[in-house]
Every structure is written in structure tokens, then in C-alpha cells.
Amino acid sequence: QADAVYIATDPDREGETIGWHLPQALQLKHPRRVVYSEITPEAVGKAIAQPRTLDADLVAAGRARDCLDKLVGYKGSRHVVWPLNNGAKSMGRVQSATLHLLCQREREIQTFVPQDYWSVWVLYDNGIKAFYRRNAAAKAPHPRKTEVAPDPTRSTSGLAQPSNPNEPHIHDDAQTQKIGPESDRITSQVEADRLVAIARTHPHTVIKVEGKTHKQSPPPPFITSTLQQAAGQRLRFSPEQTMKVAQALYEAGYITYMRTDSVALAAPFRDAVKQYLAQHDPDNLPKRATSHRSGKGSQDAHEAIRPTKVNHTPGSMPTLTPEQAKLYDLIWNRAVASLCCPATLRKTRIVTQSGEAFWEARGQVVEFPGYTRYWNNLKADTQLPPVQLGQGLTLKQAEAEKKQTQPPPRYTEPKLVQLMERKGIGRPSTYAPTIKVLRSRTYVQRVQGKLQPTPLGLELDAALNVLLPDLIQPEFTAQMEAKLDAIAHGQQEWQSYLTGWHRSYFAPAITCAKTKVTSGEIRGLLDAQSAVIGKTSPPTQQGEEQQAILTSAPPPYRQPSGQLSEQPSEQPSGAAESTRPKAKSQSVKPSPTAATTSRTRCPKCEARMSKIPSKSKKMKAKHFLKCQTPGCGTVMFWNSRQKQYELPFAQRAPDPGAFTDYPCPVCGAWLERHGYQKDGQAKEMLRCSLPEHRRGKCKEVAFFQTKHGFWSPKFGNLQSVVSSKVSSKVSSKS
């Protein structure tokens, strides 16, 4: 009845698609689309004054993404994951690729073999600590290998960036890299002792003194991924918690839209920050405006995450909750810092020589803090005392410190978000939900703040690596994201892309995967993988919790067998041995996702089955049983009505007492009685007794009990069907 209807859904592809669905659901004619990135009177009024039509290209990209996700999720889960019968519930286009990243890292940790090495250093009486170098040429300290991604939103302000490719790049998470000075690695105790002897028996002379001024550019304002990373590192927020708090700040009108991959800032906000700096911090006002470049594939029509008003400083917001105040403080300081002057650093390098050995010391001092007054991402100052070329130094100490190479660390949630962005997996709106799904499906658990795949997650990934290997590769998922970007820019027709993708790749891949599952071909492949990779993951630190990790699934397809009864609430007779060491001062509580041994024996191999916790709302009990015997893997579920554990329907042996004298109208096999519940009442129906037919040509054969006998929506009254069958047989004989 309104004269005009304005659609103001979120300013992204998903919001545009919702805006396309609304007129159809509400039967609206000629709705007007308005877009704003901040909920303020000025922004909303400006958007209402400049309405537009729905963007057909953005809608097409949103619909294509929706169809792709449903094709992969629905068909993959039904035809590939569920037949594994290992408790896995789903797979997904983004979900499975992300799980594969975590499982890859877990297998790297499991197969890692530590190696001994020695770090050789000297300490002079003037306080300089220098590390062994093979020559006097400039070389950055050997950093510990880490999965730190380069900032995709690097500055383009024309300021100098680190030119040495080996030098660690300083960006928003530099404080967590833990890169310390270290000598060139010595792999022999004999060589290390020889170098120490040289240092102790030869005089030390300064042969190089180098100093240079370096300007460090300010970091860009937050996008979704970098906000989640910074909140995780500095506030210990999970991505889900970060987005929940940011949503509240956005709805209250304090920040701009928080699902974005663009670092662009609106001109009015840049002018407001310029005025703020001129009034409160004039030394930090750059002569030339600082600019930042967004990452590849970003939607530059959006803004970065910023405060709506720069005058709303963190200390002047008493109405915010503690969590909101902490996150707003990060957003405000990062946005202001991105428009400040660069920091000026004085870097010093001193090289000394004793005999044939060279020793290097490095220092760094902040001469002008610049943007670090608001966002400090620099390492602490290391000031070296003044020395002159040719000066002799007095040795105070020379040591060779034995160390071991460390396995790559597991990902924290912020690091995983960073990796997903770098690999092109998902969009800003899907980072946090994807991690939430992986945890809710018990594919991943959080151990000491880091994400670790569970046995179920590793089993599923190993199976998908055999059945649908392309779909779990990050490169494959990134290519699909690039196609969606092309659709959003009007360069690709979405229906033709979907049709071609399904016909040329997905349909044949699903068919091949189904064949491998039903034929049992996957059994040998998974057993071979489990033989290659170890069964447990080693500890990475003293006292760290160790989890028993299975690296591949047992054979997923099982033959039907009997049923056993056990109350799910009873205590198990024994618990699986824990591999976690106890801390000195307190005991380690068992993980809520840890499996325990039940009293129920496997109907196939007679081994005791393990209770596997599950958060599925479809299950009456919060767990299911699984046989952990290699080569078995039978699963059973609790039937609250029968008060017993039962095999999945497809694996149960047929009950001869359930057969009727009525033939199936499609295949001719006997119909069987099947009990079910409706509205809390027990009901009975007749269906085809062949499970393989019930999933195929006989899936519509269902006769429901009525006052006048059994009746089917498709075939009608059962007696009429039987009579017609008999009549047709008589006529054929005559």
C-alpha cells in the first residue's frame, strides 16, 4: 500500500541478493535500492535521496554463489560424506577447503623430524651481543619459519619498504612473529666448538659500521580479515566474537559496515581526521595524503572499517560495553593511524672479526614515532653503543647454544582467517561462519588457543582427498571465487558458468566418487594413507596437551550386522588412555570432545566400541558409537524408543517378521512394515523391502495406514493395486 518501498539490505553481494528476493516474496513493484555503509542520519538521508535499481550483476554473483554452495554441500554430503558412516555430517565448497588447510598443517607436524643445530654468539664488555656470520656481507638474521602472510593491502605512499626479501615484513601482526636474532645455523657440535675457540683466542676488531634511516609506512585501515586478526591477537577475541561485537557497533551507528575487503576511506572522513590531527597532533599530519591499495578482487565500492565520527574518541564513549569499548578502540586507532605520518627508524649494523670468524650485531631506534602513537606494530628498540671502524672490543663471553628446529605451529583462528584471505578461500562474510561450522561439526577443536583437527576431521579430509581431490584444494576454490568476481563485474553469464561447471566437472566427479564409495575402492587407499602417517601428534612444548590424532579413516562402507543394547547414560567401564601429561600445579581436564570406551561390542569384530561426542541436534544422545579397530569402523546410534544402539538403516539386516504378503507395485519385491512417529504417536507404513530400491526407483512406494486400509498418494488403495496386479497376470496368461 506504500507509494514507495526502499530496500536497504547490506551493501555487498549477499545483501544485493537478499534485496532481489524481497520484491518476489513481498510482491513489490519497482522497489528502490539504497546503499549506505554507516547508520547515521547523514548517510541514510543521502542514500534515500539517491536511490537506484538493483544491480543485476551483483545479484547474479550472489545467486551463483548460492547455487554453487548448495550443489557442493547438498550433493557432496549426501552422495559422498553420509555413505562413509563415520559420523561426518557435511562437506562444503569453502568448509572442506579450509579443513584441508588445517589437516595439511597437522600432517606436517606429525611427520616433522627435529634437527639439532647450534647458535654461536659473543658478548662484549660494552654490551654488544653479536652473532656468527659466515661472511661480512649484509644479511638479515635467520628467522624462524612461520606462516606469516604479506599484507595484501600494502601501502602505495611512495615510502621505502624493506628491500631485503629475507627481512621479516613488519605489519599488523609483527608483535606475534617472535622473530629473534640468531646466528647462521651450525649443524655440527665440533664446528660450533671450533668457532667458540676462535672467538676466545683471537682479538675482536670492528670492520663495519653501517647506519641508515628507514621510513615505515602506516598500516591500512581495517578490513574484515585484518580486524579479526588484530582482535584475536590483541584482545583474544574469536572471529565469531569479533563480528558479533562489530555488528553491535555498526547497528549503534559507531562504525561503518564491517564485512568489507576494501581499504578505501571516504573523503569526508579523511578531511575530518586531517582536522583532528591539525588540532591535537600537528606533527603527525603528513604533507602528502597517505594512500593504500586494496587487495586483488576486493570490492572498492565499499569503505574500510572505520569510526563514523573521528571526534568520538575511545575515551568519550561511556555507553559501550567493555567488549565494545575494546574493539572500538582498535578500530578508531587503526583508522587514524592509517592517515598519519610514517615512523622514522634508525637502523644500525656492526660487524666485527676475530680470526676467520665474523660477528654481526643489529640495532633499531625509533627517531620519530609517527603513526605508532596510535598503532604500534614495531619491535622494541635495540640501541647499540657507539663504536668506530677499527676499534678493538673486549670479549666478555662466547657461547654455542644448542637448539632444535621446531615443527610449524598450528593455526590460531586469526591466523587461519589470514591464510583463507591469502589463499582466496571464501569472502569476508564467510570467514567466521566457516570456522564456526568446522568446530560445531567436531571436525576441529581448539587446544591451547590453536585449532587442531579431530580424528573425525582428519578422516573426512583423507576421504575427500581420494574422492573429490580438486574441491578441497585452495587453488581450485580460489579459481571459483575469481569466476564469481567476473560475474559480479558483468564479464561472465552466471547460468552458463554454472551449467558448464556442473556438466564438465562436478557431475562426473560425484559419479566417480559414488563408485569408489560403493565399490569399497576407498578402503585400500585410506588404509595406505594411515600406514604412511603416524597415529599421534608429538608435543611441541613442555606440558602441552597431546591429543591422539588419527590421520585417515578406516574403511567407510560396512556390511549390516546385529544390534546391541546399552543405556547411554551409564558410565563406561573403562576410559581410553590419555596421552596428555599433567601440569605440575594442576591436573589437565579431559577434552569434552575426547572419545571414551563403552561396554558395547562391535557387531562385526567384537571389539569394544568408542563413544564419540556429537553436537548434532538430530541425535537423541549426545554421542554415537564407533569401532576404532583398523579395518572396521562400524558406527551405531542410540534409539531412545527401543532403548538400544542400532546400526544405520542402510546397514541393518532385514527383519523377516516385517515382511507382508503384498508385492511392491514397482519392482515386485515384498513390501515390509516400517514404524515411525508422527505428532508423538506411533504409526506404521508399508514400503519396499529392498534398501537399494528405496533409494532409487522405489523411493515413492509408501502406503500409509488409514481407516480403510493402506493407501499411497501415488498408487492409491493397496487392495486396488494388488487386484490390478493379479488381473494383469491373469490377462497375460490368457
Domain assignment present for 447: yes
Instruction: Give the model confidence (pLDDT) of 259-271 as tens digits.
Output: 888 888 988 999 9
User: Are 541 and 410 a contacting pair, CB within 8 Å?
Assistant: no
The candidate with the shortest Cα–Cα distance to 76, out of 433, 423, 458, 469, is 469
Q: Which residues pair with 673 in a beta bridge?
A: 686
**pLDDT attached to residue 340:** 94
| 253 and 329 part of one domain | yes
Predicted TM-score (pTM) of this structure: 0.65
427 shares its domain with 526: yes
Q: Are residues 229 and 328 in the same domain?
A: yes
> Are 343 and 317 within 8 A, CB to CB?
no
Q: What is the predicted pLDDT for the residue at 651? A: 63
Sign of the CA dihedral running 625, 627, 633, 636: negative
Cβ neighbors of 434 (< 8 A, separation 6 or more) are 92, 94, 95, 98, 420, 426
**Residue 553: its pLDDT value, please?**
33
> Which domain range does residue 134 map to?
116-143+180-217+342-404
Are both 610 and 506 inside the same structural domain?
no
Task: Check residue 552 and give its pLDDT.
Answer: 33
Q: What is the pLDDT of residue 511?
A: 92
pLDDT of 426 reads 85
3-state secondary structure 110-140: HHCCCCEEEEEEEEECCCCEEEEECCCCCCC
CATH number, domain containing residue 208: 2.70.20.10
Residue 410 lies in a domain: no
Determine the pLDDT at residue 294. Answer: 62
Question: Do 434 and 523 lie in a common domain?
Answer: yes
Question: Secondary structure of the chain: what % helix, strand, coil (to 5)?
Answer: 35, 20, 45
432 within some domain: yes
- Which of these is catalytic: 254, 257, 443, 557? 257
Indicate the residue among 285, 313, 334 that finishes a domain.
334
Query: Is residue 577, in this structure, part of any structural domain at all?
Result: no
User: Residue 278 domain-assigned?
Assistant: yes
Q: Are 341 and 283 a contacting pair, CB within 8 Å?
A: yes
312 in the same domain as 282 = yes
Block mean pLDDT (10 aa), the chain, length 734: 86 89 88 89 90 92 92 92 86 94 94 93 94 79 37 34 31 35 83 95 95 92 92 91 94 92 89 94 87 60 87 89 95 95 93 95 92 89 88 95 93 91 86 92 91 92 92 87 89 92 92 85 61 43 34 33 37 32 38 68 80 76 82 79 73 68 85 81 85 80 87 85 59 49
CATH code at position 496:
1.10.460.10
How much of the chain exceeds pLDDT 90, in percent? 44
Query: Is 250 annotated as catalytic?
Result: no
- Terminal C-alpha separation, the chain: 69
pLDDT computed for residue 379 by the predictor: 80
Residue with cell 558483468: 490
pLDDT score at 584: 35
CATH code at 49? 3.40.50.140
Co-location of 233 and 307 in the same domain: yes
CA dihedral 107, 113, 118, 119 (to 10 degrees): 0
- Going across the sheet that includes 716-717, the strands are 659-663, 670-678, 681-688, 702-706, 709-712, 716-717
Q: Is residue 169 part of a domain?
A: no
Predicted pLDDT at 586: 39
274 domain-assigned:
yes
Q: How many Å separate Cα 84 from the centre of its chain?
A: 23
User: For residue 542, is it within any domain?
Assistant: no
Measure the CA dihedral 168/160/224/451, to 10°.
0
How many structural domains compose the chain? 6
In this structure, are 277 and 326 located in the same domain?
Answer: yes
Same domain, 381 and 420: no
User: Which of 16, 32, 54 marks a domain boundary?
Assistant: 54
678 vs 84, 638, 685, 704, 710, CA distance in Å?
29, 19, 12, 12, 16
Q: What is the CATH number of the domain that holds 324?
A: 1.10.290.10
Do residue 444 and residue 471 come from a single domain?
Answer: yes
C-alpha cell at 352: 666485527
Task: Write out the DSSP string of 572-599.
Answer: PSB-PPP-PPPPSSSPPPPPTT--EEEE
**Which of 615, 632, 651 lies at the terminal end of a domain, its last residue?**
651
Residues 310, 452: one domain?
no
Nearest in space to 80 (alpha carbons), one of 594, 471, 428: 471
In this structure, the answer to whether residues 616 and 700 fall within a common structural domain is no
* Cβ atoms < 10 Å from Cβ of 523: 18
